[in-house]
Structure 1
Amino acid sequence: MRILSVHNRYQIRGGEDESRQAEENLLREMGHEVTVYEEHNDRIAKMNQLQVASRTIWSQEAYQIIQRRLKEQPQDIVHVQNFFPLISPSVYYAAKAQGVPVVQTLRNYRLLCPNALFFRDGQVCEDCLGKFLPLPGVIHGCYRESRVASVAVASMLTVHRTLRTWTKMVDVYIALTEFARQKFIQGGLPAEKIVVKSNFVHPDPKPGEGKGGYALYVGRLSVEKGLNTLLAAWKQLPMRLPLKIIGDGPLAGKLAADTQDMPHIEWLGRKSMSEVYELLGEAKFLIFPSNWYETFGRVAVEAFAKGTPVVASDIGAIAELVEDKRTGLKFIPADSADLAKKVTWLWENPQELNRMRQEVRREYEIKYTARQNYHKLMEIYDLVRNL
């Protein structure tokens, strides 16, 4: 099978990029021909605001590139991973003009929310959910804290709702969890076109032993990721439990300041994937304190693969991944006292922790290996080719 993978990369690589690349590599390993059309946000620095806004709504350049590629090298599927902002939904039209089916993976909430997070002023916000014109996102400057930039995103969403792009030009959407699928249905996407296929971890990193004697956080250092909740919880613990933090982001300065007198919290900055896996495998448990809905929670599944339980916020997609007292524990979102309570219980119950280690590894083997994921992806591709 020949697949054209389309994606717009950001300046900073994240979970979206890792998951997309893993999928492309898996397809190649299984003998499929995968070519890539990629744009990078570095180009934005060479454009003015009007040019960026125009491309966000419709990129004639991307349309022509896809048209030319499909004529020169016919494809069976165009799989769009991310079109925002420089590629635009014009790629759907280019694919359809050549009679090639389109699959779109929904890696964030951009089709429903200008900032793609459903998160504003430190809390979940659904003000634009289901609105034909996402005016609240413009008023609050939700995209890049700029009303001008938010107008461009809102215009893209409204124009393509008017054209019925989301309902007519995409054959199948892939949501990463059932929670995310339901949100997109609430937002107006056709339920019959949305299937659920999770991310996966490949190659298998093999389980660790969990003998490091520390808890671990891996992720962006930002408000929506719950870093403030994590730090507040650690100040309330009755014991000095070591915590290692991997990642970088806008709250890095606050993290450094808040932990000056807390030597049992170690900020490691960014680490390679192999280093993350090593630390994950030896951690007692992973803390996933996110305050927003997420669409998946890749690091939680990486923890499962390493045999490490997860203490997670009971919110959004991550609440779907973690089963309370089987693969980890859940706590009330943004409630540092409840997080401290759950961490203390898990630390003081090593037998339960060891039982959970067995369960999370089993969860990975049942749901999140490359084999299961590949079979599901082939079912989706076969479905759209037979429409």
Structure 2
Amino acid sequence: MKLLVAHNHYRQSGGEDEVFLRESELLRSAGHEVLEYKEHNSGISEDGIPSKVQLAARTLWAADSVGRLRSLLRRERPDLAHFHNTFPLISPAAYYACQQEGVPVVQSLHNSRLICPAATLYRNGSACEDCLGKTVPWPGVVHACYHNSRLQTAVVAGMLAGHRVLGTWQEQVDAYIVFTEFFRRKFIDAGLPREKIFVKPHFLGTDPGMKQEMGSYALFLGRFALQKGIPTLLKAWRSLGHVPLRIAGAGPMEQDVRRFSQTHQSIHMMPYLSQKECFDLIKGARFLIWPSGVETFGLVAIESFACGTPVIASRSNAMEIVEDKRTGLHFASDDFEDLAAKVEWAWTHPREMAAMGKAARAEYEANYTAKRNYHLLMDIYSKARTTAQEAA
């Protein structure tokens, strides 16, 4: 097949960007012709009122991107278009261009933006679903959930409400991809067509192999941000000075993490790491800590599984990836005392954690390899093409 994959890159590269690259390479390695359409947020200028007005308009309907995309569609005639992130420079207007050119549309839902203007389902340190099911997600505007700005949140809310009224989400997309059953249910509750939402987890393009040693430290690997559970992690370590913790990542709370590590000798912050270095770090850990509240998926969890390292995860419905007491341990969301207790148990029961690590590796081999993921993706593409043909 000739496939168009489209993605709006973020200023700071993250999991969505990595999945876009992995899936594109997976498709190429299977012999498909892959065309890429990309925008990048590094080109956004918010200096002055005209630039802000222009960005707001593009968020709703990015006419310039649609024009470039339409030219690409007419020139190349792809069999299907797969969108990853469209916010804010591609916009949902891209779906209309595809449908008008007879190209089926698949949209991966990497975050909860269609439900929540902030795309996090998280506010003031806890889970939030105030905007779920609302045509106009006004609670997000009231609370200034996006970038702590009522004006910027209103722009996102306007985009969501406008396209709900237009029927964009129901009619212009032939298939949605989500990564857990939890989020499939959430998007159904939000009004997306049940029959168009398919679950396909993430995968690893390269198998790092099973680790050979028990591990000598606990590990956090991810973004330093409130919704990633950083406050819970740091509070837990106030009573865990005897357990070495390595922290690798970057983000808005980096200075908070650095200050905390300077007064707690058991914590060691790591510099920027290559992917190979990340895998080596995971293999050297006794267990990985994944304290996030609500996430559409946790790529770091399956990376840990692939290395045979068990995961201590926040007990939210989105954490269905980690099976309690089999591939890791659960702790109560946002409860630093429960996290500390689970870390203490894990540190003092190395044999049990090693057994969980073996089970985690088996889980990776059964569900998160490139081969299995490719077959799931092809099945979704086939269903999207059938839906588009039936609607024509």
Matches of 2:94 and 2:143, distance apart in 1 = 29
| Match in the other structure for 1:252 | 254
Contact 1:209 1:282 in 2 (8 A): no
One-letter amino acid matched to 1:9? H
| Match in the other structure for 1:349 | 349
Shift of 1:65: 1.4
- Spell out the pairing of 1:131-280 with structure 2 (5 A cutoff): 131-237=134-240, 240-280=242-282
Matches of 1:301 and 1:276, distance apart in 2 = 13
Which shows bigger deviation, 335-344 or 42-51? 42-51
| Match in the other structure for 2:108 | 105
| Match in the other structure for 1:295 | 296
| Match in the other structure for 1:328 | 328
Contact 1:77 1:101 in 2 (8 A): yes
5+ residue gaps, structure 1, are: none
Q: Describe the SS at the equivalent of 1:137.
A: helix
Match for 1:90 among 90, 93, 114?
93
Determine if the alignment matches structure 1 residue 282 to structure 2 residue 280.
Answer: no
One-letter amino acid matched to 1:254? D
Q: Describe the SS at the equivalent of 2:45.
A: helix
Contact 1:103 1:171 in 2 (8 A): yes
Matches of 1:49 and 1:316, distance apart in 2 = 37
Determine if the alignment matches structure 1 residue 307 to structure 2 residue 308.
Answer: yes
Determine if the alignment matches structure 1 residue 123 to structure 2 residue 132.
Answer: no
Matches of 2:204 and 2:302, distance apart in 1 = 7
Matches of 1:59 and 1:267, distance apart in 2 = 41
| Match in the other structure for 2:384 | 384
Matches of 1:59 and 1:385, distance apart in 2 = 25
Give RMSD over aligned pairs.
1.1
Write out per-residue CA displacement over residues 284-319 of structure 1, whole angstroms, 9 at most, x where no aligned residue: 00000112x1000000000000100000000132x2
Instruction: After the TM superposition, list the runs of 4 or more consecutive aligned residues in structure 1 that deviate by more than 6 angstroms.
Output: none
Matches of 2:253 and 2:271, distance apart in 1 = 12
Which shows bigger deviation, 369-378 or 139-148? 139-148
5+ residue gaps, structure 2, are: 388-392
Contact 1:284 1:309 in 2 (8 A): yes
Matches of 1:146 and 1:220, distance apart in 2 = 22
Q: Describe the SS at the equivalent of 2:21.
A: helix
Matches of 1:222 and 1:247, distance apart in 2 = 10
One-letter amino acid matched to 1:271? L
Matches of 2:152 and 2:373, distance apart in 1 = 36
Matches of 2:261 and 2:370, distance apart in 1 = 39
One-letter amino acid matched to 2:72? R
Q: Describe the SS at the equivalent of 2:320.
A: helix
Which shows bigger deviation, 252-261 or 84-93? 252-261
Write out per-residue CA displacement over residues 298-353 of structure 1, whole angstroms, 9 at most, x where no aligned residue: 00000000100000000132x20000010000000111111111111111112211
TM-score normalised by structure 1 residue count? 0.97
Contact 1:225 1:290 in 2 (8 A): yes
Contact 1:295 1:316 in 2 (8 A): no
